[in-house]
C-alpha cells in the first residue's frame, strides 16, 4: 500500500491533491495544523488525519512517528502548505523583514522542517517522491521579463519564498540523486482558493493535477525539475 502525506490538506489545492491520490488507491494522510478542520476534511475524504503545523519541528517529528507506527512508512510527501501576507502597500520598499519572516516560516522553513522529519521514512520507500508546491511567481526568469504576464506581480515576500523553495527543491534533488527519491517543484497555476480570495481562473482540482502527476512519477521521471501541466518552467 502506497502512503502519502499532504501538508495543508484541509482545504484548497492540498485537499484536492489528497482526494485525487486517494482515488488512485493511495492512503492520503491529511496533514493540517487545526485538528477540527483537519479531521473534518479527512472524514470527507475517508482518509487518515495527522496534526501537523509545518512551523513546529516537534509537530513534524510527532507526525513522522505516528505515520511510522500507524502506516509502517511513507512513500510520498507533498509540501503543499503555504501562505501569503496581504499588505495594503506591497511594494518591496514597504515590505518589512517581519513580513518576509512570516511567509518564510511556512513556505520555506516549514518545507525544510517537514522534509527532514519525513526523509528517514521516505528513504526506506522503494520509490520515494517529494513534491514542493511552488508557484509561477517563484520564477526569477519570468519575474524579470517585461513581456511575461507575471511582470506586474512584484510581491517580494511570497515570490522570493517560492524562488527559495525552488532552490531548496534542487538542493534536496542533488543530495538524493543516487537514491530512488525524486524531488520536484510544481506550479499549480492561478487557482481560486482562500489564498487569493478566490480570484484565480483555475479550480483547485486543476491545480492539484501537476502535484498528483509528480507524486506518482515512475522511475524514469525527472528529479530537480520545475513543472506545470504544460511542461517545464524557466527557473
Ligand atoms: N492558489 C493559487 O493560485 C496558487 C498558485 C501557485 C501556488 N500556490 C501554492 O499552492 C499551495 C496551496 O495553496 P492554496 O491556494 O490551496 O491555499 P489555501 O486554500 O489558503 O490553503 C493553504 C493550506 O496551507 C495550510 N497552512 C498554512 N499555514 C500552515 C502551517 N503553519 N502548518 C500547516 N498548514 C498550514 C492552511 O491551513 P489553515 O486552513 O489551517 O490555514 C491550508 O490548509 C501553497 O503552497 C500556495 O503557495 C497556490
> For 220-232, what is the mean pLDDT?
98
For residue 178, the CA-to-ligand 1 centroid distance in Å is: 31
d(CA 127, CA 129): 6
d(CA 94, CA 70): 47
d(CA 104, CA 158): 8
pLDDT tens for 175-192 read 999 999 999 999 999 999
Active-site choice (11, 49, 104, 158): 158
How large is the angle between the packed helices 110-123 and 156-175, nearest 10 degrees? 20
pLDDT band at 65 (very low <50, low <70, confident <90, very high): very high
CA 196 to ligand 1: nearest atom = 1
pLDDT, residue 101, reads 98
pLDDT tens for 72-122 read 999 999 999 999 999 999 999 999 999 999 999 999 999 999 999 999 999
> For 58-77, what is the mean pLDDT?
98
For residue 80, the CA-to-ligand 1 centroid distance in Å is: 6
Domains contained in the chain, CATH given = 3-232 (3.40.50.720)
Which residue's CA is the nearest one to ligand 1's atom 36? 8
For residue 146, the CA-to-ligand 1 centroid distance in Å is: 28
Which residue's CA is the nearest one to ligand 1's atom 1? 191
pLDDT, residue 150, reads 96
CA 191 to ligand 1: nearest atom = 3
pLDDT, residue 73, reads 98
pLDDT, residue 142, reads 98
Q: What are phi and psi of 131, to 5 degrees?
A: -120, 125
d(CA 52, CA 170): 24
Three-state SS letters, the chain: CCEEEECCCCCHHHHHHHHHHHHCCCEEEEEECCHHHHHHHHHHHCCCEEECCCCCHHHHHHHHHHHHHHHCCCCEEEECCCCCCCCCCCCHHHCCHHHHHHHHHHHHHHHHHHHHHHHHHHHCCCCCEEEEECCHHHCHHHHCCCCCCCCCCCCHHHHHHHHHHHHHHHHHHHHCCCCCCEEEEECCCCECCHHHCCCCCECHHHHHHHHHHHHCCCCCCCCCCEEECCEECCC
pLDDT, residue 189, reads 98
Share of the chain above pLDDT 90, in %: 100
In sequence order, what are the residues at sequence separation of 6 or more whose Cβ sits closer than 8 angstroms to the Cβ of residue 93? Answer: none
pLDDT, residue 181, reads 98
pLDDT, residue 20, reads 98
pLDDT tens for 142-169 read 999 999 999 999 999 999 999 999 999 9
Cell of 74: 511513507
Mean residue pLDDT across the chain: 98
Amino acid at each position: 500500500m502506497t502512503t502519502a502525506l499532504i501538508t495543508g490538506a484541509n482545504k484548497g489545492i492540498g485537499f484536492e491533491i489528497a482526494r485525487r491520490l486517494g482515488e488512485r488507491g493511495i492512503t492520503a494522510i491529511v496533514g493540517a495544523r487545526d485538528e477540527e478542520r483537519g479531521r473534518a476534511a479527512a472524514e470527507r475524504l475517508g482518509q487518515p488525519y495527522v496534526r501537523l503545523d509545518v512551523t513546529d519541528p516537534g509537530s513534524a517529528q510527532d507526525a513522522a512517528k505516528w505515520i511510522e507506527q500507524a502506516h509502517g512508512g511513507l512513500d510520498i510527501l507533498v509540501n503543499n502548505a503555504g501562505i501569503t501576507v496581504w499588505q495594503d502597500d506591497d511594494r518591496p520598499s514597504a515590505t518589512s523583514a517581519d513580513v518576509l519572516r512570516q511567509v518564510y516560516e511556512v513556505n520555506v522553513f516549514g518545507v525544510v522542517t517537514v522534509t527532514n522529519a519525513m526523509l528517514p521514512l521516505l528513504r526506506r520507500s522503494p520509490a520515494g517522491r517529494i513534491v514542493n508546491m511552488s508557484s509561477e511567481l517563484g520564477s526569477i526568469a519570468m519575474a524579470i521579463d517585461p513581456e511575461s504576464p507575471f511582470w506586474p506581480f512584484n510581491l517580494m515576500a511570497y515570490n522570493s519564498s517560492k524562488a527559495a523553495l525552488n532552490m531548496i527543491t534542487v538542493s534536496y534533488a542533488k543530495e538524493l540523486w543516487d537514491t530512488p527519491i525524486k524531488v520536484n517543484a510544481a506550479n499549480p497555476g492561478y487557482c481560486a482558493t482562500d489564498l487569493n480570495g478566490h480570484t484565480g481562473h483555475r479550480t483547485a482540482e486543476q491545480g492539484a493535477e501537476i502535484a498528483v502527476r509528480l507524486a506518482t512519477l515512475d522511475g524514469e521521471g525527472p528529479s530537480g525539475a520545475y513543472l506545470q501541466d504544460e511542461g517545464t518552467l524557466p527557473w
